[in-house]
Amino acid sequence: MNSGLLTGIATATGPQYYSISTADQLPQVFRAISSEIEPTDTDGDGLSDGEEAGVLVEVNGRTYFNIISDPTLVDGDRDGIDDPDEEEFGTNPLDDDFDNDGLIDGFELEIGTDPLIKDTDYDDFDDREKYLDPDHDPLVYEKRYSYLEIGRELVLGAILGEWGADDHNSVYYLSGLILSGFMVYGDIRGIAESIWRKDGLGSLLNAIGLIPALGDLTKAVANVGQFVAKHVDEGATVASFVFKHLPIDDPTIKRTLIDNTIGGDAANGLRSKGFSDDVIAKLLKQNIDLKRFDQILKNSNIYNDYPGLHKFVRKELTLEGSKLTDRYTVDIKKMVAADKAGKPTYGYLNNLKGAYGEHLANEYITGKFIKEVSKVNKGGVDIATLDNKVFKILESKACKKLSMSDIKRYVKCDKNGNPIEYNAKYVTKDIGEDLFKKEDIQKQFILFLSGPESQKIKNNLKLPERLPYKFTDADEIEQTGFIDIVVVAVNK
């Protein structure tokens, strides 16, 4: 090979050239060339085709091509989570069921289970199994009993009563204990036999529901208190079972039952924060362990970083359709289940910060909503509004550090990491292209930062006040324009 001749040709014709002596040097050269070329993003998802196509990696002396995601599709594995958002959730853009539990990742976000964990509540029963079983909740840790075991616990509770409670912590033993004060043993045994025949729990639950008509409820409430005193960790489970199946209208009895199940100190602490007994009972009925949840937040010091969070938590928990009970990426039940199993809860705490940040952003932004915060967070634009003649697109971030790579879905950068273009194509796939095409509409991208480091992050990002955008519309016409960039930093 005449290297002098090739060098001369390359020099004379203008392009940059790279000299290599072996094929082993090709991966390094390809990376160098890729960094010199303006990146292409065919599917407009904020990831360049080069990033999605992957990189060359060396394993045991052999070179392989590691594909990241499909550069032609925003959602390469069709799991309902866009490729750039898969990194945020920790899933794989080429694997539609990351934890192999039989539930697609995007669907898991919709129903509230964790796409990274086969058993979200750590009770040794897979998410899919519990999701398909109407009698069980994949977000609530629970010990499972066979029909034979349920009937046995019921009978033992009726026979042994409080004397045997030390060795039995199931709600079915408690049910037998309570019913023994209102029904004769033969009737209770008949219910147990019905359960043994696999007729379901209907007869048991119906019997519990009739207790207020059979006698004094205070006796049943006292039994509950004595039982929970022996099994403190089961307080929330017992509270959920009792409030779900035992009709309680009397406010004094309701208050006593709350104190007896989650403890007087925890109950009074919630009341001091503005929770009424009706609200506490409603949340306990939904399998929300308020006592453990409150303790998790206190131990995390999250209230110190976000001073207004405690008011947000109180307000949201008292609402129907709360972000904290119905916003599946935050769901308190998952956080409590993880803590109960001795697993880390920082991921759920981060989601809580995110929900609070979106709440603050929702208060900040003005105009008619085009897209509001969804209870199912699968990526995409957080909030979009039309305020008179201003089209506002908002992305909320609640974190202690942030770099340009964290907002690459919206802002494209050159090889040196400098912002060069707004990625309108990614946004139009989520909320449509009409407003981008109107010349009389001002476009504005708002990066809403919340948290103790928000101002520092804003200063370090150094985003320009304006960026160009371009995209090809549905009629194959290239649309171009400019969008204003607004960075808001709040710490409250």
Question: Does pLDDT of 37 surpass 70?
Answer: no
Interval 343-348 mean pLDDT: 84
Contact of 49 with 71, CB cutoff 8 Å: yes
pLDDT at 9: 47
pLDDT at 64: 60
Nearest to 221 by CA among 252, 188, 184: 252
CA distance 78 to 192: 48
Strand partners, 59: 62
pLDDT at 13: 45
Helix (H) or strand (E) holding 467: strand 466-472
Give the residue, 325 or 473, on which the prediction is more confident: 473
Interval 122-126 mean pLDDT: 87
Helix or strand or coil: residue 368?
A: strand
Interval 450-473 mean pLDDT: 93
Contact of 422 with 463, CB cutoff 8 Å: no
| Three-state SS letters, 180-230 | CCCCCHHHHHHHHHHHHCCCCCHHHHHHHHCHHHHCCHHHHHHHHHHHHHH
pLDDT at 332: 79
pLDDT at 36: 55
Q: 20-34, 48-62, 205-219, 404-418 — which is least confidently predicted?
A: 20-34
Q: 31-35, 155-159, 307-311 — which is least confidently predicted?
A: 31-35
Q: How many CB atoms lie within 10 A of CB 233?
A: 11
Interval 451-471 mean pLDDT: 94
Question: Does pLDDT of 51 surpass 70?
Answer: yes
Structure tokens at 95: 């694997």
Give the residue, 1 or 304, on which the prediction is more confident: 304
pLDDT at 12: 47
Interval 422-437 mean pLDDT: 90
Structure tokens at 398: 């609640």
Interval 420-427 mean pLDDT: 90
Q: What proportion of the chain, given as a percentage, has pLDDT over 90?
A: 27
Question: Does pLDDT of 60 surpass 80?
Answer: no
pLDDT at 87: 77
Question: Does pLDDT of 347 surpass 70?
Answer: yes
Q: List pLDDT tens digits, range 430-449.
A: 889 999 999 999 999 999 99
Interval 111-115 mean pLDDT: 85
> Which residues have a Cβ under 8 Å from the Cβ of 459 and sit 6 or more positions away?
none
Q: 44-48, 271-275, 384-388 — which is least confidently predicted?
A: 44-48
**HSE on the CB side for 248, CA within 13 Å?**
26
Mean model confidence pLDDT for the chain = 83
Looking at mean pLDDT, say which of 48-57, 138-147, 450-459 comes out highest. Answer: 450-459
pLDDT at 387: 96
Contact of 396 with 358, CB cutoff 8 Å: yes
CA distance 453 to 455: 6
> Residue 312 burial by CB count (10 A; 0-12/13-18/19+): exposed, middle or buried?
middle
Banded model confidence at residue 465, pLDDT cuts 50, 70, 90: very high
Helix (H) or strand (E) holding 280: helix 277-285
Give the residue, 219 or 328, on which the prediction is more confident: 219
pLDDT at 444: 98
What's the Cα-to-Cα distance from 270 to each of 42, 180, 192, 295, rounded to whole Å? Answer: 52, 33, 38, 11
Contact of 118 with 108, CB cutoff 8 Å: no
Interval 258-273 mean pLDDT: 88
pLDDT at 24: 60
Interval 401-412 mean pLDDT: 88
pLDDT at 485: 97
Helix or strand or coil: residue 326?
A: helix
Helix or strand or coil: residue 471?
A: strand
Strand partners, 62: 59
